[in-house]
Amino acid sequence: ETGVTQTPRHLVMGMTNKKSLKCEQHLGHNAMYWYKQSAKKPLELMFVYSLEERVENNSVPSRFSPECPNSSHLFLHLHTLQPEDSALYLCASSLVKFATNEKLFFGSGTQLSVL
């Protein structure tokens, strides 16, 4: 148990659906991250939030829309996804953004399948 909780653990959706992934941490961290892990590929950083402000968007398509209503919660809203978006989506948090002497705490991820 890392203190970062992601729901749901598994999600199957059609290409026309709209769904949301949720991440929650009560570690007192101020930075939260979304990563994508496709089969047999390294983790890719998608978005970074610091103190509820989006500070990085790594050329992610607009069909992925993040939201950070407060420092404890992070959402990833999904709409009109493609089959190639099927992947494990991981949320992480750290005390401070980009603090190289800090640790990242990851959730267990949401395994997403787009049909």
Partner 1 sequence: DAKTTQPNSMESNEEEPVHLPCNHSTISGTDYIHWYRQLPSQGPEYVIHGLTSNVNNRMASLAIAEDRKSSTLILHRATLRDAAVYYCILWGGSQGNLIFGKGTKLSVKP
Query: Which residues lie near partner 1 (CB under 8 A)?
Result: 2, 4, 35, 42-43, 45, 48, 56, 90-92, 98, 100-101, 103-109
Q: Which is nearer to partner 1, 12 or 15 (CB)?
A: 12
Q: Which is nearer to partner 1, 66 or 109 (CB)?
A: 109
Which residues are registered as beta bridge partners of 68? none
Q: Which is nearer to partner 1, 13 or 45 (CB)?
A: 45
Q: How far is the CB of 80 from partner 1 (least distance, A)?
A: 26
DSSP for the chain, written as a single string: --SEEEE-SEEEE-TT-EEEEEEEE-S--SEEEEEEE-TTS--EEEEEEETTEEEEE-S--TTEEEEEEETTEEEEEEES--GGG-EEEEEEEESSTT-TTS--EE---EEEEE-
Q: How far is the CB of 27 from partner 1 (least distance, A)?
A: 13
Q: Which is nearer to partner 1, 65 or 108 (CB)?
A: 108
Q: How far is the CB of 44 from partner 1 (least distance, A)?
A: 8
